[in-house]
């Protein structure tokens, strides 16, 4: 006669296999098809470039293509809204950043998503120092002259940015608040196209992430007045820090990171995080990111938990800076 104990054992085993069948197939052998990575800005800008470098390596690890989809508009909040509302099955992700996942909170009272409540943090990809850049024939020769010039010509000068709440917008808002100027803002769908306008001399200046700027500065097609970090950047050894150049109050470094829609399974998040971390340890990926001036996150800063803390801290940091601008 079957003992109670063996019956219970058989029942448990049956239950376990039932659970295994019921578990979403996507979490078991993820990924089984292409992954879409939303980049909420135009192709060729910093977020796009960093995403492409890192996801090309992640795709090899994951054994599936990662297709970049540039969903532009409203300072990156259009693409971020799309990502927040996507299925949480690991097949739609977003590269968000200091703008979409922090600065946009105080700037958009009706933001359709909340960076902390509507996303699962996956991995920080790169820190991106901010530079004060200008068209190459902009009259000021150095940062001191730049400050005097924009103050004296406040109504005439314009500043390009990638839409309200983007990094270029938020960091120039900080600069403008320090200088007490209000230049005319010229919005683009990303600083890729904004950089083209700067190179063409169609706009005066811009606060941009380093990734976009290194090739142009080195080619002499634009001017760089200063980098807003405590140290100079190895990829731009001749560009002074804002402290060296006389404006120590202006400190700004952005960041780009992968997020998944809220509720994406922990197993999928762990798989994606491991692939991102592996990419950041790859010598070729590192070389390309470093050549463009990015700061590669240390091991302790690469976990989903560390990214959650960064988002929380960045919202707290940018809210008082940007609130008066709304």
Whichever of 203 and 268 has its CB closer to ligand ASP, that residue is 203
Reduced to 3 states (helix: H, G, I; strand: E, B; else coil), residue 206 is strand
DSSP letter, residue 112: S
Least distance (Å) between residue 205 CB and ligand ASP: 14
| Selected binder of ligand ASP within 57, 82, 97, 135 (CB under 6 A) | 97
Whole-number Å distance between alpha carbons of 177 and 250:
10
Q: Are 110 and 309 in contact (CB under 8 A)?
A: no
Q: Is 113 in the site for ligand ASP (CB under 6 A)?
A: no
Q: Is 191 in the site for ligand ASP (CB under 6 A)?
A: yes
Tokens read off for 275: 């692939």
Report the relative pairing of strands 119-135 and 222-227 from DSSP bridges. antiparallel
Burial 37-48 (b: 16+ CB within 10 A, else e): bbbbbbbbbbbb
Pick the stretch among 132-140, 184-192, 214-222, 245-253 that binds ligand ASP (CB under 6 A).
184-192
Q: Is 293 in the site for ligand ASP (CB under 6 A)?
A: no
Q: In the window 30-49, what residues touch ligand ASP (CB under 6 A)?
A: 41-42, 45-48
Tokens read off for 307: 């990214």
Site string for ligand ASP, 129-168 (x = CB under 6 A): ---------------------------------x---xxx
- The count of residues interacting with ligand ASP (CB under 6 A) is 15
Identify the H or E element spanning 127. strand 119-135
Residues engaged in binding ligand ASP (CB under 6 A): 41-42, 45-48, 97, 99, 162, 166-168, 190-192
């Amino acid at each position: 006669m079957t003992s109670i104990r063996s019956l219970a054992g058989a029942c448990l085993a049956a239950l376990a296999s039932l659970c295994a069948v019921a578990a979403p197939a996507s979490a078991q052998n993820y990924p089984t098809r292409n992954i879409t990575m939303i980049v909420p800005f135009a192709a060729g800008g910093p977020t796009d470039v960093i995403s492409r470098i890192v996801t090309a390596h992640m795709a090899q690890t994951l054994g599936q293509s990662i297709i970049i989809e540039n969903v532009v508009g409203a300072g990156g909040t259009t693409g971020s809204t799309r990502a927040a509302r996507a299925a949480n099955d690991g097949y739609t992700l977003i590269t968000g950043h200091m703008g979409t996942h922090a600065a946009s909170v105080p700037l958009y009272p009706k933001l359709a998503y909340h960076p902390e409540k509507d996303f699962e943090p996956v991995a920080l990809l790169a820190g991106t120092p901010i530079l004060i850049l200008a068209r190459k024939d902009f009259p000021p020769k150095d940062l001191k002259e730049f400050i005097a010039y924009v103050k004296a010509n406040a109504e005439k000068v314009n500043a390009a940015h990638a839409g309200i709440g983007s990094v270029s917008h938020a960091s120039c808002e900080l600069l403008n608040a320090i200088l007490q100027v209000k230049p005319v803002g010229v919005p683009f769908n990303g600083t890729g196209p904004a950089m083209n306008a700067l190179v063409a001399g169609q706009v005066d200046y811009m606060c941009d992430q380093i990734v976009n700027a290194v090739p142009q500065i080195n080619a002499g097609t634009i001017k760089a007045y200063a980098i807003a970090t405590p140290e100079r950047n190895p990829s731009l050894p001749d560009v002074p820090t804002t402290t060296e150049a006389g404006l120590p109050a202006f400190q700004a470094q952005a960041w780009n990171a992968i997020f998944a829609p809220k509720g994406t399974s922990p197993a999928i998040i762990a798989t994606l995080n491991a692939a991102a971390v592996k990419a950041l340890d790859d010598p070729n990926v590192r070389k390309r990111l470093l050549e463009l001036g990015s700061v590669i996150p240390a091991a302790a800063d690469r976990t989903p938990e560390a990214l959650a803390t960064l988002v929380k801290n960045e919202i707290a940091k940018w809210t008082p800076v940007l609130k008066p601008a709304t």
